[in-house]
Amino acid sequence: MAPKNVPITVAHGDGIGPEIMEATLHILKEAGAALDIETIEIGEKVYLAGNSAGIEPGAFDSLRRTKVFLKAPITTPQGGGYKSLNVTVRKTFGLYANVRPSVSYYPFIKTKHPTMNVVIVRENEEDVYGGIEYRQTDQVTQCLKLISRPGTERIVRYAFEYARRNNRKKVTCFTKDNIMKITDGLFHKIFTEIAARYPDIENEHWIVDIGAAKMSDTPEAFDVIVLPNLYGDVLSDVAAQIAGSVGLAGSANIGDSIAMFEAIHGSAPRRAGQNVANPSGLLLGAIMMLVHIGQTDAAERVHNAWLRTIEEGIHTYDIYVEGVSQQKVGTREFAAAVGQRIGQKPETLKAISYNADADSQSTGHSSTATAERANKETIGVDVYLDWTKGTPDELGAAMQQLNGDGLRLTAISNRGVKVYPGGHSETFCSDHWRCRFTADTDGGTTTHARIAALLARTAAAGFDFIKTENLCNFDGQPGYSHAQE
Amino acid sequence: MAPKNVPITVAHGDGIGPEIMEATLHILKEAGAALDIETIEIGEKVYLAGNSAGIEPGAFDSLRRTKVFLKAPITTPQGGGYKSLNVTVRKTFGLYANVRPSVSYYPFIKTKHPTMNVVIVRENEEDVYGGIEYRQTDQVTQCLKLISRPGTERIVRYAFEYARRNNRKKVTCFTKDNIMKITDGLFHKIFTEIAARYPDIENEHWIVDIGAAKMSDTPEAFDVIVLPNLYGDVLSDVAAQIAGSVGLAGSANIGDSIAMFEAIHGSAPRRAGQNVANPSGLLLGAIMMLVHIGQTDAAERVHNAWLRTIEEGIHTYDIYVEGVSQQKVGTREFAAAVGQRIGQKPETLKAISYNADADSQSTGHSSTATAERANKETIGVDVYLDWTKGTPDELGAAMQQLNGDGLRLTAISNRGVKVYPGGHSETFCSDHWRCRFTADTDGGTTTHARIAALLARTAAAGFDFIKTENLCNFDGQPGYSHAQE
């Protein structure tokens, strides 16, 4: 029985976009993908018509209707005021997962890592990418790194669901939780919790520095890697580069409401209209889309026909190498060659199979069990000061005068190093001080009104407090780190 | 004229430590290094004698006296309560720079990157490594990333001074300042300021994801790379690994008061006492020490003799490869071979030269010009809430009731995305909300007393405020980011 047509939204983009989209859609049709296509306009023309995001409000209606977006590369005009279309779509629809397979196709494409086949699943919304930053003193600037339980649960669950649907055997997690015990510790903890629900898939955790070194040298040791936003940003670029296939890589951005599929390369305006561009990156993005909407048979047919074309040496100019390639072809001829090979499998490269039984479009959010609310007790506050008037001991003596109402100064630190009481004379102190006040009695709690009153005393004493952070216990466990001594 | 003896502190460490230190000191002596050695005890015995940091208070006196520490690897006993000796020394003495050369010795040592010769200069105290973390709500955890002007000035200046002293031609900076405009933006800005004072040295900046990809694939494109702590942590491990020379790498940790030199590998207890260990990592650390104390002639003699020994195929077991190596030797025999080659230069590998005229022991701190104090105005405050009771619009309506005293609610965001006024219905909201209050009048300022009063009203209205961040202008420039829409 033929599958029911699935509506998708398609944008042909700028530069080489229209050509590679045409090639991609030709191949999808040849493979029997069952799609109802809605076309929208995005990119350069829309920007220049005065829309700062490069996408018209009406186009959002199509995305909300189809929930699936196949997007060609676009050109963002030079000059100020234009916002990234991808950031706009990601923020608007909460696209929390960025999925980037990096595969080497040795001996048909040059690479130092012949057996590499890694998929990076990057958390896409949190970490330092909220862009929440403050300059606080003359000397010190701050960025907030946020890691949340629901944000982490859905990215980790997505990674395991992806592994299952794509017949992957292992999911690896990278964090730096030996240093960041609370934030990266939460990511690692949730990884362990969720991994336990997927006994058919191997799991492991590496500290990110050692893991990154291993991946850069021996990428064949990894299969799917799930990681927080910043590590994922850096390592997905490393993986694509060392695979030797930046021009051949597709990418998915997954949200609860919609998902977007594209090539990782740009619109290459100088190559536009010449029938030379390689449509493979967009095609591999489209294959991820077919798997996402449950059309795994069509995905398999396209993927294997493409692999067969690559290994027969039918190559566009960008991957053509004398002695390795057999025939240099244009965009349309490449698409025709892949279309003619629908139903064939590669002979040297490994044929692809997708798992039709896996839960298609499972995004991991709605069905994730979030823990019950913990019992939260506020037991103190860190008051940060901009201060340049003396030594740690002098500051300690002055701040102790502000004790009262059950709150007492217990320590001062500077850039994470404890300097009062009992610091080291060699410690370099910036103008950015943290004064920790805790409830007088062991195990006691304080109130928000008392914290506000402490700040009022701090202001009255003439101190420039620049920020506060409450100290809380959750179910009796401290929710704050101690200064390093 | 023979140089005046320089006092240094030496620790022989655990496992293979004593053997490789003996080998290293033998070679330094043969090369005519002018050293007065004080020996201290650190490591396993000291830990087990009840000292939680693995170093006795008396040993610190030796470090304070000599200011130069050549350290063999140590063994930290298993089990709780033992603190990292390196972290203790780094925190105590403010060792702000970690310097790690990664070099390939092709064709004598196996590597995928035959012409690699990169030095990573990693900032070692700031960024997310202050370990300043908070769990703030049921769902959300936070780590502070701090980047300071003096911390950045001294690491960048150190990188340029290092380049000059070691005859390096280019210093590259990696940041993510397209996203973190305030923190990474400060690092990049200071890099540009300081680079201008070194017209003899080329400089460039890369966004860290693209730079990391380039370095992993084409490390020969880089010379010295200076970068914030986290990027440096990850990329120094990547560089060491892909050079194929983790066992051959030395490292320096530089502070204003003292500097520490070591191998990057561990104490390998299973190899101890067998005269098999490779002393090269520690020896290369010792060469960095000789350059640091201005004995560049001795450093050159040792370095070139070592290169000559490597290319003659006189190899310890760990780098011995049939067909490439000529002779498998033990630790003592290797040291003797290097010692016999003092005065010789390599023939295939490039000979080393150090710049004797450069300012030795310049650490870049005291002579760094810090900008004058800016004119700082506090113009509002971000009040963060733990809140689960409804929609962004409901929260907005409730928080507006707290306006007063010249402060007015202007926006609410969740995980960096603006949700009030005028958010998108698809935005997933955690229990972690930022409410931005700013001074009523355009360009107006507020006071610390008014911020404390706003918090008192917030407490009285029953809200769980979890943190605050003041909004300040510095010389009229906003010191805070805006939420992404």
Residue B431 has pLDDT above 60, yes or no: yes
Q: Round the average pLDDT of chain B to a whole number and report it.
A: 92
- Residue B364 pLDDT class (50, 70, 90 cuts): very low
For residue A166, which of A347, A368, A352 has the smallest C-alpha distance? A352
- pLDDT at position A373: 84
| Parallel, antiparallel or unpaired: strands A170-175 and A6-11 | unpaired
Separation CA A468–CA B468 (nearest Å): 5
For residue B287, which of B152, B455, B140, B101 has the smallest C-alpha distance? B101
- pLDDT at position B354: 92
**Taking the CB of residue A460, how many other CB atoms lie within 10 A of it?**
12
Query: Which one of A128, A208, A241 has the shortest CB-CB distance to B217?
Result: A241
Separation CA B36–CA A69 (nearest Å): 70
B187, B210, B217, best to mutate vs chain A, most A CBs in 10 Å: B217
Separation CA B347–CA B358 (nearest Å): 27
B483 half-sphere exposure, CB direction, 13 A CA radius: 21
Cβ within 8 Å of B, A 394-453: 415-417, 424, 426-428, 430, 432, 434, 447-449, 451-453
Element (DSSP H or E) covering residue A468: strand A464-474
Residue B368 has pLDDT above 50, yes or no: no
Asked if A480 lies within 8 A of B134 by C-beta distance, the reply is yes
| Parallel, antiparallel or unpaired: strands A407-414 and A477-478 | unpaired
Separation CA B306–CA A373 (nearest Å): 62
Judge whether A67 and A82 are in contact, CB under 8 Å. Answer: no
pLDDT tens digit sequence for B391-401? 999 999 999 99
Q: Based on the number of CB atoms within 10 Å of its own CB, is A321 exposed (0-12), middle (13-18) or buried (19 or more)?
A: exposed
- pLDDT at position B51: 85
Judge whether A67 and A89 are in contact, CB under 8 Å. Answer: no
Region of poorest pLDDT, from A20-29, B64-73, B439-448: B439-448
Asked if B131 lies within 8 A of A459 by C-beta distance, the reply is no
The secondary structure of residue A318, as a DSSP letter, is G
Judge whether A362 and A255 are in contact, CB under 8 Å. Answer: no
SS3 of chain B: the string is CCCCCEEEEEECCCCCHHHHHHHHHHHHHHCCCCEEEEEECECHHHHHCCCCCCECHHHHHHHHHHCEEEECCCCCCCCCCCCCHHHHHHHHHCEEEEEEEEECCCCCCCCCCCCCEEEEEEECCCEHHHCCEEECCCCEEEEEEEEEHHHHHHHHHHHHHHHHHCCCCEEEEEECCCCCCCHHHHHHHHHHHHHCCCCCCEEEEEEHHHHHHHHHHCHHHCCEEEECHHHHHHHHHHHHHHHCCHHHCEEEEEECCCEEEEECCCCCHHHCCCCCCCCHHHHHHHHHHHHHCCCHHHHHHHHHHHHHHHHCCEECHHHCCCCCCCEECCHHHHHHHHHHCCCCCCCCCCCCCCCCCCCCCCCCCCCCCCCCCCCEEEEEEEEEEECCCCCHHHHHHHHHCCCECCEEEEEEEECCEEEECCCCCCCCCCCEEEEEEEECCCCCCCCHHHHHHHHHHHHHCCCEEEEEEEEEEECCEECECCCEC
pLDDT tens digit sequence for B91-148? 888 899 999 999 999 999 888 899 999 999 999 999 998 889 999 999 999 999 999 9
Q: What are the residues whose beta carbons fall under 8 Å from the beta carbon of B357, sequence distance 6 or more? A: none
The secondary structure of residue A272, as a DSSP letter, is T
- pLDDT at position B371: 57
Separation CA A271–CA A278 (nearest Å): 10
- pLDDT at position A354: 92
| Parallel, antiparallel or unpaired: strands A417-420 and B117-123 | unpaired
For residue B310, which of B337, B291, B331 has the smallest C-alpha distance? B337
Asked if B448 lies within 8 A of A434 by C-beta distance, the reply is no
Cβ within 8 Å of B, A 168-207: 176, 179-184, 186
Q: A181 to chain B: which residues are within 8 Å by CB?
A: 131, 133
Q: Which residues face A225 on adjacent strands?
A: A120, A172
Strand, helix or coil for residue A194: helix
SS3 of A376-393: the string is EEEEEEEEEEECCCCCHH
Strand order in the sheet with B133-135: A133-135, A140-148, B140-148, B133-135
Sole residue written with tokens 């003659």: B312
Q: CA separation (Å) from B278 to A455, B27, B248, B260, B329?
A: 59, 13, 8, 20, 9
Put simply, whether B214 touches A (Cβ < 8 Å) is yes
Structure tokens at A198: 């997927």
Judge whether A116 and A244 are in contact, CB under 8 Å. Answer: no
Residue B370 has pLDDT above 60, yes or no: no
Structure tokens at B279: 């002393």
Separation CA A128–CA A416 (nearest Å): 18
Strand, helix or coil for residue A6: strand
Judge whether A159 and A171 are in contact, CB under 8 Å. Answer: yes
Q: B461 to chain A: which residues are within 8 Å by CB?
A: none
Q: Is omega for the bond preceding B279 within 30 degrees of 0, making it cis? A: no
Q: What does the radius of gyration of chain B's CA atoms come to, in whole angstroms?
A: 27
Put simply, whether A135 touches B (Cβ < 8 Å) is yes
Query: Which one of B92, B415, B474 has the shortest CB-CB distance to A424?
Result: B92
Element (DSSP H or E) covering residue A86: helix A85-93
Q: CA separation (Å) from B367 to A184, A336, B158?
A: 37, 67, 11
- Give me the total of CB pairs closer than 8 Å, taking one residue from chain A and one from chain B: 345
Whole-prediction pTM: 0.92
| Parallel, antiparallel or unpaired: strands A95-103 and A117-123 | antiparallel
- pLDDT at position A280: 97
Q: CA separation (Å) from A270 to A23, A267, A273, A334?
A: 19, 9, 9, 20
Please, what is the end-to-end C-alpha distance for chain B in angstroms?
A: 69
Separation CA A174–CA A231 (nearest Å): 8
Residue B77 φ/ψ, nearest 5 degrees: -60, 150
Put simply, whether A233 touches B (Cβ < 8 Å) is yes
The secondary structure of residue A345, as a DSSP letter, is -
Asked if B255 lies within 8 A of A426 by C-beta distance, the reply is yes
- pLDDT at position A14: 95
List own/partner pairs for B388-392 with CB under 8 A and 24 or more apart: B388/A373, B388/B138, B388/B431, B392/B419, B392/B420, B392/B423, B392/B429
**Taking the CB of residue A276, how many other CB atoms lie within 10 A of it?**
18
Q: A210 to chain B: which residues are within 8 Å by CB?
A: 237
Judge whether B464 and A451 are in contact, CB under 8 Å. Answer: no
Q: What is the mean pLDDT of each run of 10 residues along chain A (485 residues)?
A: 86 97 98 97 91 86 95 86 83 92 92 93 93 92 95 96 94 95 96 97 96 95 97 95 88 94 94 96 98 95 98 95 94 98 96 77 45 87 95 96 95 91 84 94 89 97 96 93 74
Residue B242 has pLDDT above 70, yes or no: yes
- pLDDT at position A173: 98
pLDDT tens digit sequence for B375-430? 999 999 999 999 999 999 999 999 999 999 999 999 999 988 889 998 877 788 99
Residue B50 has pLDDT above 80, yes or no: yes
Q: Which residues face A204 on adjacent strands?
A: A172
Q: Quick one: what percent of chain B has pLDDT higher than 90? A: 80
